[in-house]
Amino acid sequence: MKRFKGFVIKEFYHIFRDYRTMVILFGMPLVQILIFGFAISTEINNAGIAILDNSKDAVTQKITNKLLSSGYFKLEANLSDYKEIEPMFRKGNIKEVIIFENNFAKKLETEKKANIQIIADASDPNTASLITSYTSNIINNYQLEMMKNQQLPMQINPEVKMLYNEELKSVFMFVPGTITVLLMLISAMMTSISITREKELGTMEILLASPLKPIQIIVGKVVPYVFISFMIAVIILILGFTVFGMPVQGSLFLLMSECLLFILMALSLGILISTVTQTQQTAMMISMFALMLPTILLSGFIFPIENMPLPLQVFSNVIPPKWFIIIIKNIMLKGVGLGYIWKETLILLGMTLFFIVLSVKKFKIRLS
Amino acid sequence: MRTILFILQKEFTQIFRNKSMLPIMFVMPIVQLLVLSFAATFEMKNIKMHIVDLDKTPQSRAMISKFKGSKFYTIVNYSDAYKIAENDLKTNKADIILQIPQYFERNLSKEDKASVQLTINAINGSAAGLINAYTFSIIKDFNSNILMDTYGQKLEMPVQTNTSFWYNPQLDYKTYMVPGILVLLVTIIGLFLSAMNVVREKEIGTIEQINVTPIHKYQFITGKLLPFWIIAMFELAFGLLIAKIIFSLPVLGNVGVVFTVASIYILAILGLGLFISTITNTQQQAMFIAWFFMVIFILMSGLFTPIDSMPDWAQKLNIINPIAYFIKVMRMVLLKGASFKDVLNQIIALSIYAIVALTLAVRMYKKKI
């Protein structure tokens, strides 16, 4: 036991004396949370638009003002000819062109009908469908305001309630997502690299020849990373709560235990990776390539899993972060207890055991 | 020149004899491109709806069948109490609850006004926004249908808008994501391989052997960079081919422009990687620094979220983000047919980037310990 303690202390020294890595390990959650919170957003604002006003009368002016004062749009150019649209789009500064037809106000007066054409740059289909629907909503609202005195017949009015997240804040996405991605990558990557490092530098032989049992070597390697990963989870939760008001509706103890379980899962995955690789480069590329993008894309962090094609939905079941994101979202936002998430917890537990058993089987105490 | 050729030969031998790295370098990116491009979608194909119909009249049933008929919605459950429905939302069995209140039909015909309640699980804000927009448009459609049935003529707003979607009329999200994901994969390969390369020689100690040879700095750096440059370019070409065949990626612009920009971009990325490699002592450090910058660059690059929505200061920060430039160029040229002139600014920016990064890398690499 004393030997083991000494080994763990040695590992701590190893990790903490490398200040560059430390700065990045603890700087990463900080920077990511700040970027997600302040810099990027999925909402539309200040989308560049161009207006081709063939009529230039009081009504088109009013509609234009209405659109520009909404905050969604920013006027990039006033066009005077249809031919200018294509080059404008190609330059990439505008997302939408709004075209008022000739004699707009006059037609509205005499024929009670006038047309606005909206052309959107749908190379980004998501933004295109959102901004066009905003545009037509603003135009419709303008009309409703204009004809307040006359009530249209038979109007169905949908009343919307956004449950769990009334203001559609993206913080509810990115705090759970960032925790998941960082815990997954740091735990798996750090462990796999630190073990293969000993192999690559040849110091693994020294460790294996020491009276420490292989299991003690592995556990000793892992302990510091459990500590670091757990600290990172705490940092993200505190930042999320203090800066962005991300609540923890459910039990904090349950949340932290689930984090610990997930960390253990990622660490055992890291050990497994290290048993099948010989160089740090390979270990890193596996934990980086095979884990990073799937963790971001197949876990439901950014893109909802239900929208994916069926084979991918099935495949996403073997991605551990998927289950963890469900668990922490449920605890943090819906405030549910273990009763609601025991299934996901069991799955994570099963994966952890699977990785541990597999790496014990693959672990070689002899050098080839 | 001969010296460089020999270094090249050495590097290529080292790359290709590492049997565990080969599949990671050549197979993994392609597999990821194929799999992840399908995953990265915001298209709502299967909105799970729970219906609480408290009215039970022909009109309310007509509205429900409107949703049933839409390919975007799956009706997962019906119930008579909102409480039951909310539980479905809580357990993720449903994404949205449509509640049609009692006297819906009566109010609609007698008072010309009736409401329905939509409750949406909004944890994923952007998905909730899209679900909301879809549902609104279906209700609006239904509304104009019943007006048509009752009054026999179209009653509509005086100002009519019609929308056309250029470049991608089907609103296929994949064609938007594929070029971006391709950039990402090429970047990961280029940045990490180069960042870990020189530092690996340092860590293992073989750098000293090279340092005592008469090889010049520039020869050494060229020998280190060229193999990865070739590999990255090859992967880009191969990836584009696959994107064209499998995802029928439209290639409106000139592929030559893409490859011109790519050749500069990869130089910039390799320069950055090499620079990281020269200022670090262990592969672990190099990897973490490369990872740190890459994650930030990716998040800010507009790959997943529109750059326009970012605040001004964040958009200005993107001046030093090579990934943002290249993703923009790829999308502009491939999807919109932008010409060389349209992307000139990006080319200049990336060239400056490449020159600065390479100069720094050469300067920082010292032939001593």
pLDDT tens digits, residue range B332-348?
899 888 888 888 999 99
Residues A206 and A318 in one domain: yes
Residue A367 falls inside a structural domain: no
CB neighbours (10 Å) of residue A311? 10
Nearest chain B residue to A91, by CA: B342
Instruction: State the pLDDT at residue A168.
Output: 62
Domain count, chain A: 2
From A210-224, A314-328, B149-163, B176-190, the region with the lowest mean pLDDT:
B149-163
> Does the pLDDT at position A259 exceed 90?
yes
Instruction: For residue B117, give Cα distances in angstroms to A173, B35, B97, B147.
Output: 25, 38, 8, 21
- Higher-confidence position of B313 and A112: B313
Interface of B with A in 145-204 (CB under 8 A): 146-147, 150-151, 155, 157-169, 171-173, 175-176, 184, 188, 192-193, 196, 200, 203-204
DSSP calls for A37-71 = III--SS--SEEEEEEESS-SHHHHHHHHHHHTTS
Mean pLDDT, range A120-127, rounded to an integer? 85
Can you list the residues of chain B whose pLDDT is less than 50? none
Residue A298 falls inside a structural domain: yes
The residue to which tokens 């293992």 are assigned: B204
CA nearest to A252, candidates A193, A146, A328, A176: A328
> Does the pLDDT at position A152 exceed 70?
no
ipTM for the complex?
0.82
Q: What is the mean pLDDT of chain B?
A: 86
Residue A104 falls inside a structural domain: yes
Instruction: State the pLDDT at residue B215.
Output: 81
The token duo for B302 is 């507009």
Listed residues A144, A178, A213: the one ending a domain: A144
Q: Which domains does chain B have, with CATH numbers?
A: 2-40+178-364 (no CATH), 47-151 (3.40.1710.10)
The token duo for B368 is 């001593």
Residues A81 and A220 in one domain: no
Residues A239 and A303 in one domain: yes
Minimal Cβ distance to B40: which of A63, A162, A297: A297
Residues A217 and A342 in one domain: yes
Residues A126 and A173 in one domain: no
d(CA A83, CA B34): 38
Instruction: State the pLDDT at residue B217.
Output: 81
Listed residues A92, A110, A144: the one ending a domain: A144
Nearest chain B residue to A25, by CA: B288
> Does the pLDDT at position A183 exceed 90?
no
Burial class (CB within 10 angstroms; exposed 0-12, middle 13-18, buried 19+) of B250: middle
Asked whether A360 and A336 are in contact (CB, 8 A), the reply is: no
A312 to B35: CB separation less than 8 angstroms, yes or no? yes
Instruction: State the pLDDT at residue B150.
Output: 78
Note whether B19 contacts A: Cβ–Cβ < 8 A.
no
A115 to B39: CB separation less than 8 angstroms, yes or no? no
Note whether B138 contacts A: Cβ–Cβ < 8 A.
no
Residues A55 and A97 in one domain: yes
DSSP calls for B140-160 = HHHHHHHHHHHHSS----SEE
Most confident of A321-335, A341-355, B164-178: A341-355
Residues A25 and A79 in one domain: no
Instruction: State the pLDDT at residue A345.
Output: 94
Instruction: State the pLDDT at residue B154.
Output: 63
User: Mutate which of A293, A313, A328, A341 to test chain B, going by most B C-beta atoms within 10 A?
Assistant: A293
> Does the pLDDT at position A113 exceed 80?
yes
Close Cβ partners of B151 (under 8 Å, ≥ 6 residues apart): A153
Residue A122 falls inside a structural domain: yes
A165 to B128: CB separation less than 8 angstroms, yes or no? yes
Residues of chain B positioned with their CB less than 8 A from the CB of A165: 122-123, 125, 128
Question: Which domain CATH number covers A119?
Answer: 3.40.1710.10
A75 backbone dihedrals φ, ψ, rounded to 5°: -75, 120
Residues A82 and A19 in one domain: no
Residue A211 falls inside a structural domain: yes
Instruction: State the pLDDT at residue B51.
Output: 92
Q: What is the CA radius of gyration of chain B?
A: 28
Instruction: State the pLDDT at residue B348.
Output: 95
Nearest chain A residue to B48, by CA: A306
Residue A98 falls inside a structural domain: yes
Residues A56 and A196 in one domain: no
Residue A149 falls inside a structural domain: no
Minimal Cβ distance to B125: which of A112, A129, A172: A172
User: Mutate which of B52, B106, B123, B325 to test chain A, going by most A C-beta atoms within 10 A?
Assistant: B123
Note whether B229 contacts A: Cβ–Cβ < 8 A.
no
B314 to A39: CB separation less than 8 angstroms, yes or no? yes
CA nearest to A261, candidates A345, A342, A358: A345
Residues A97 and A213 in one domain: no
Nearest chain B residue to A163, by CA: B121
Residues A233 and A183 in one domain: yes
Listed residues A144, A178, A198: the one ending a domain: A144
Q: What is the mean pLDDT of chain A?
A: 85
A194 to B284: CB separation less than 8 angstroms, yes or no? yes
The residue to which tokens 């103890």 are assigned: A253
A118 to B161: CB separation less than 8 angstroms, yes or no? yes
Confidence of residue A258 (pLDDT cuts 50, 70, 90): very high
Residues A11 and A55 in one domain: no
CB neighbours (10 Å) of residue A357? 12
Residue A82 falls inside a structural domain: yes
Q: For residue A312, give its domain range.
A: 2-40+168-362
d(CA B198, CA A128): 45
User: Mutate which of B32, B308, B341 to test chain A, going by most A C-beta atoms within 10 A?
Assistant: B308
Note whether B212 contacts A: Cβ–Cβ < 8 A.
no
Q: pTM for this one? A: 0.83
A32 to B165: CB separation less than 8 angstroms, yes or no? no
From A164-173, A220-229, B331-340, the region with the lowest mean pLDDT:
A164-173
A281 to B173: CB separation less than 8 angstroms, yes or no? no
Instruction: State the pLDDT at residue A16.
Output: 84
